[in-house]
Copies of this chain bind each other. A is one copy, B any other.
Amino acid sequence: MIGVGIIGLGTVGIGTYKILEQYHSLIKDKSGQDIRVVKCADIDTKRPRDISLKQGIMTAEAREVIECKDVDIVVELIGGIEPANEYIRMAIQNKKWVVTANKALLAEKGDELFTLAAKQNVEIGFEASVCGGIPLIKAIRDGLVGNRINYILGILNGTSNYILTKMTLEGMSFEKALEEAQRLGFAEADPTFDVEGIDAAHKLCILIRLAFQCHVKMRDVVTGGITKIDPIDIEFAREFGYRIKLLAVAKEENEKIEARVEPAMIPVVHPMSNVDGVYNAVYIVGDKTGPTLYYGKGAGSEPTGSAVVSDIVDMAYRMRGGSPLPKIPSVSKAKKMRSGEKSFVPYYMRFTAKDRPGVLSKVSGVLAEYNISISSVIQKGRKENGYVPIVILTHEATEQNLKNAKAAIDRLAVIKGESVSIRIEEGRL
């Protein structure tokens, strides 16, 4: 029997407990593994929970889980940096194998934790930390083990994707869509982590570690959110054949890494463009497999619980016998980050311009100065107080040139307010 101890009996903890108990024999049938929850810790031992806990299993002390001799695998589900970090370190010191859903912790302290685990010859499972119910970590680590990977495209945050989907399909404003997401429980009261791209950036750091075998710090990920997205740009995107998504993008070229989480346009013909609502998806290009895509629910009690359970079973296969072999992300090298200024992609730009002859010529003149060529232009829509929107798609341009050109255009007398620019990810189809 493999004994499991759970620290943190909240949403995901309850989902995990439920699956392990309800499907004890299903899991045994499928895998041959006899897995039992033997200890659970939560600071709130009394809160009513929608599960019937076995007698004597509950404690308020995480330490009791970690030190319990029947616990082979410690599952950390309290989230946040501390005390989760301390508990996981204690568990590893005690030679326990660890499963966690804690993306923030792994993004911030992954290096130290994985190094410690390697030293103690134990494993940290983290399937549940990225894209909840999608078996994505196993796909990258195990399924694509024979591939070099140099491109990842992810829709990693269900809250943002829900909001953008509502804005796109129903023409809602950001505020209204956020309100609805909060009402339905898809967004938290303080949605900052989700709508500002921070949660997705945490997850991208984890994916980069696995896929590129290197570590990237949160500060190295260019991170932007969706709060400023204007429905008009969603509409123009559609006219050009694109959808706007909060895209996590990681590229490796010449040993340099570029990592971003930003609203970006993706062609409607790309399979990522139709990932809607609270769904997550990741598009990964292996050099042997070619493009692969994984899609499913990124959060929730049971989807995420299912991911925790899959880690436990995967470990159980190897824990038999005296010297089980942990899977450890290879000692990850630090790689250089490619400066965002050198990133080279097409852009969408929107200007609010005086409706008079010669404006387009001025704008395109500035773009030309910065070496940016235009692939298409539309000028249409309602005139308001003598101003009309001009929308331009550019060919590939460096981010630096784009920024400079945009600033120069915004200084033109015929242009009103700050212009909009959105990156275009063609998505390596």
Contact = CB atoms under 8 A, between A and B. Distances in A.
Interface of A: 15, 19-20, 23, 26-27, 29-32, 127, 132-135, 138-139, 141-148, 213, 269, 271, 274-275, 281, 286, 288-297, 300, 302-303, 305-307, 309-310, 313-314, 317-318, 320-323, 325, 327-328, 330
A269 B290 CA distance: 25
**Top 8 closest pairs, chain A to chain B, by CB:** A135-B143, A133-B289, A146-B309, A292-B296, A293-B295, A288-B306, A288-B302, A19-B146
A210 to B, nearest CB: 9
Contacts of A306: 144, 146-147, 286, 288-289
A27 B146 contact: yes
Among A30, A271, A302, A307, the one with the most B-chain Cβ atoms within 10 Å of its Cβ is A30
Nearest to A316: B325
A330 B288 contact: no
A288 B310 contact: no
Nearest to A210: B30
A27 B213 CA distance: 11
B289 A145 contact: no
Contact of A295 (B29, B143, B271, B313): B271
Number of copies: 2
Contact of A142 (B271, B274, B296, B313): B313
16 contacts: A27-B145, A29-B213, A29-B330, A31-B327, A133-B289, A134-B289, A135-B144, A139-B139, A142-B310, A142-B313, A144-B306, A145-B309, A291-B297, A292-B295, A317-B325, A317-B327
B271 A310 contact: no
B291 A296 contact: yes
B320 A305 contact: no
A294 B297 contact: no
A334 B303 CA distance: 29
Contacts of A300: 290
Contacts of A289: 132-134, 296-297, 302-303, 306
A192 B302 CA distance: 43
A20 to B, nearest CB: 8
B295 A290 contact: no
Contacts of A148: 23, 26
Contacts of A320: 323, 325
Contacts of A327: 31, 317
Nearest to A291: B296
A279 to B, nearest CB: 8
Contacts of A15: 288
